[in-house]
Structure 1
C-alpha cells in the first residue's frame, strides 16, 4: 500500500511540474506578424463551381491537387530585394576614418505571383518596401531585374514588372467572394528560400479582422502551412486560380502553428487595375461612420456625412447593413472587404434593416475625401461646394473628428476648417494630410496652421 501511494504521489508531482512548465515556457500571447525573413492585360476569369452542387457530400480522397499545383508552381516566383542602409559609426569620427556613417546592404526575400504572360507580378508591399533593387527568380532559375509599378501600403500589395523574351506562365484571378469556408486551397511560395513549395489546407474563415495590421481588415484565413518567405505567394483553389495573396501568420514562435492569412484576390485585383490605369489606388467609400457599440449581426450606420441629394443620402443613421451585392454582411470587416474591392462610381446593391423592415437600395460609391492624420489624431474631410461658397474659399480641409485632441489643447476643435499649413494654401484633405505628416514635429519642427473657426474667424497657430 505504501508503494502504491508513493507511485501516486510521484505521478501527481510529475503532472504538476509538466503543467507548470507549459505555463512558464509555452502558454504565451499569440502575435500576428508578416511572413517574411529578417495597363497590361490582367486576366479575368469567371468562377466555375469545382464540384457538383447537387451533391451534399464530398469525398476528400477524390480531390486531386496535382493539377492546381502544376498550374501554379511555375507562376510563383522568388523575390529578392536589396536595400542600402546607412548606419551611424562614431568610431569612424573618433579614429578619423570617415564622417561617422557607413553604408551596408540589407537583403530581404519573399514570393510573388505572375498574373499575366507579359510579366506583371503581384507581391506584398512589405516584401519590397524601401528596396533599391528587386530581383525575380523564376521556377526555372532564370533571373530578371524587376520594375516597381506601384504599391498600396494600406492593403500590403505591390505590383512589379519584368521583361522576358517569351510568354510567361501565369495564374489567373478567381472571384474570392465565392470561395466557401471548408473549401480546399493550396499555398504556393518560397519559405526559408525553399523554392516552389506547395502546401494544402482549407479556408478556415473569411473577412477576418486582425488587430495591428493597419487597414487590412478582410483576410482569408486558412490552415495551409505558411512560413517566413511565403509573403506575396499564391493562395489558389483546386483549379489553380488565384483566390488570395499570402500575407501574415499568427504565431508564438515566428513559424507556422496553424493559422495563415491572405489578402483576397478581389482586393488584390482591384489594386492592380487601379495602379495600371490611374497610377494610384482609387478608394471608394459609403460616406458613413459605424456605430461601434452595435455587436449584433450586420453593421449599424452611425453618422451619414453626405448632404441631402448626394449619392449616399439614401442611408440614414441607425440603418443596419445586412447584405452587399448578395454577400451577407455580419461584421465591419466584411463590409470593408467589399468596399476595398470597389471603385468610386461603382454601384452597391445594399440590403438594410430600418425600423424592423428589410429594404433594398442601390447606392453609388463616392471617392474617398476623408483622411486620418495619425500624428495629430485628426479626421479630415474635403469641403463641400456649399462650404467653399460660404467662406469664399478655393479649398480647405474640415476637421470632422479630433481623436486624441492634440489640437484641442490649442483651442482647435471639430468643425474648424484648415486653410493653410506651413504658410501654404491647402486645397483638400489629402493635401492637408501630406503636409501634416511631412512635418517632423518630433524633431522640434513646429507645424504652422491657419484655420477658420466656428464663428467664421481666421486663427493661426504654431503647433509644437
Structure 2
C-alpha cells in the first residue's frame, strides 16, 4: 500500500533528478526515501485507530477514523464528524494490546475537531507523541506525508505536496481555511496527521474530494481548539450579527466605486451587536478593527467570518463603512456567537426534538422560539400514528409549558408509565393537539405461542 501511494510523488522527484548527474540523482532519491521511512516510523506510533458506535435517529452504525496523540497522558485529537453522536468510542494504539475506552472531552463542529481522553493502563509507559509544527509557515509545493487508517488499513502512509492553502470549502457551519494536499486522504484517514519531512505535524486531515484532492485542518487551529476544549469545555467565538455578500467588480462598477473593496451588508439581525452599532442593509464594510476586507467571490466570505469569530467576545471593534457614497466609522462590541449545533433529545415514542437555535428559528420562519422543534419521526412509531411530524413546534405536554429543551425533558420525565399524554404543537399558523398512546409490552406478545428458545 505504502509503495503504491508513493509512486506518483517519487516519479515527480525522479523527473527532477534527471537534470542532475546520475550519482547525485541516486543519492538525492535515496536520501528522500530514507527520510520518508524515518519520519513515518517515528510518527506512526502516535497515530491511533478510532471506532465510534454512533446512533442517528433509529439507526446505529460503527464509524471508523484516525486520531493523533497530542499528550503522553492520553489526549487525542480527531475529527468531530468521526465521533459526532457517538454512544461509545474506542481507541486502538499501535503496539499496545486491546482497546482503550475513550471519553469525549469536547467537540467543535465549526472546525471539525474533537478531543478525546484515554488513560494508560497500570504499569504502561506514557503514550508516544509527535512534535507540532507551525502551519502559518507552510509553503505551497512543500513535501508532506499523511498517516491514517483508511478502510481499516492501520498505519497507511502516503506522500504528496501542499497543493494550496487558505481553502474555503463553503461548507455549512465550517470556519476553516483548509490546507489542500494531494497526499491521499480516504475514508478512515480522517483525524490522522499531515506531517512535513522534519516529522512535525502541520495539520489534522479532515476529508478527501476525489483522487489527489484532500483537505487538512491547520495545526495552529487545532492547538487553539484543543486548548479551549481542555480548559473551558467549549469555544467562545465573537459575534457581530450580519449577513454579507461579496463586493464583486460588476457591482463596484455599477455603483461607480472605483477600486473600493469590502463586503456588502445584506442582513442585520435584530438585537445583535451590528444592529446596536447602527449597521444598515446596503452598507459596505471596508475594514474590521483595522483589517482591510476584500471579497469578490462567495468563497472569499469565509475570511471575514473567521476574522469576527477569532476576535475575543466583548471586544469593542471599529467598523469602517461606506454608506451611500460617504465614509463613516461605527463602534460595535462583539457578543457571543449563538449556538451552531442544537441540543437534541430522543424519546422512547419514536420522535426526536431539537432546541430552537437562532438559525433554526430563521430557517423554519417560526413566530417564536418558545418550544422545541420536532426533527425526526420514526416510521410506524407511536408518534407517527398520532400525527406528529417533523417541523412541529411542541409548546405544551399534558398542560405543562415547554419553553426550551430542559422544560421538555422535565415534562417527559414526569409522565406516568404506559399512560397516554397530550402534546400541543404549532404547525404553521395552526395549533395541533396530538395524543401519544404508548405501546405496552403485553400488546406485542401472542398468548397462544411460546417464545423460540433457539434451535430447530
Shorter-chain TM band: 0.5 to 0.7
Within a 5 Å distance, the mapping from 1:74-223 to structure 2 comes to: 74-83=45-54, 106-143=61-98, 144-164=100-120, 165-212=124-171, 214-223=173-182
Instruction: Quickly say closer, same or farther: Cα 1:323–1:366, change in 2 above 3 A.
Output: closer
Q: Is the 8 A contact 1:289 1:303 kept in 2?
A: yes
Aligned equivalents of 2:328, 2:195: Cα separation in 1: 36
Task: Quote the residue 2:336 is aligned against.
Answer: 367
Matched, 1:272 2:226: yes
Within a 5 Å distance, the mapping from 1:250-265 to structure 2 comes to: 250-251=209-210, 257-265=211-219
Matched, 1:231 2:231: no
Aligned equivalents of 1:448, 1:219: Cα separation in 2: 41
Q: Considering only aligned residues, what root-mean-square deviation do their CA atoms show, in Å? A: 4.8
Instruction: Quickly say closer, same or farther: Cα 1:180–1:294, change in 2 above 3 A.
Output: same
The CA deviation at 1:181 is 2.4
TM-score by length of 2: 0.58
CA deviations on 1:368-425 (whole Å, 9 max, x unpaired) are 148699x99x9839xxxxxxxxxxxxxxx9x7xx5565x4xxxx5xxxxx4x613xxx
Matched, 1:442 2:389: yes
Instruction: Quickly say closer, same or farther: Cα 1:205–1:84, change in 2 above 3 A.
Output: closer
Aligned equivalents of 2:244, 2:75: Cα separation in 1: 37
The CA deviation at 1:109 is 1.5
Instruction: Quickly say closer, same or farther: Cα 1:340–1:77, change in 2 above 3 A.
Output: farther
CA deviations on 1:196-252 (whole Å, 9 max, x unpaired) are 22222222222323355543553221111121210111112333333221111112x
Aligned equivalents of 1:168, 1:369: Cα separation in 2: 37
Within a 5 Å distance, the mapping from 1:263-412 to structure 2 comes to: 263-292=217-246, 294=248, 299-302=263-266, 313=277, 317-321=283-287, 331-340=300-309, 343-345=312-314, 365-369=334-338, 380=358, 402=362, 405=365, 407=366, 412=367
CA deviations on 1:257-308 (whole Å, 9 max, x unpaired) are 1101122223323222222122222222344331245469764455566999
Aligned equivalents of 1:324, 1:67: Cα separation in 2: 45
Instruction: Quickly say closer, same or farther: Cα 1:213–1:203, change in 2 above 3 A.
Output: farther
Q: Is the 8 A contact 1:439 1:445 kept in 2?
A: no
Aligned equivalents of 2:290, 2:236: Cα separation in 1: 19
**Which structure would you say has the larger RCO, counting Cα contacts within 8 Å and 6 or more residues apart?**
1
Q: Is the 8 A contact 1:351 1:361 kept in 2?
A: yes
The CA deviation at 1:69 is 2.8
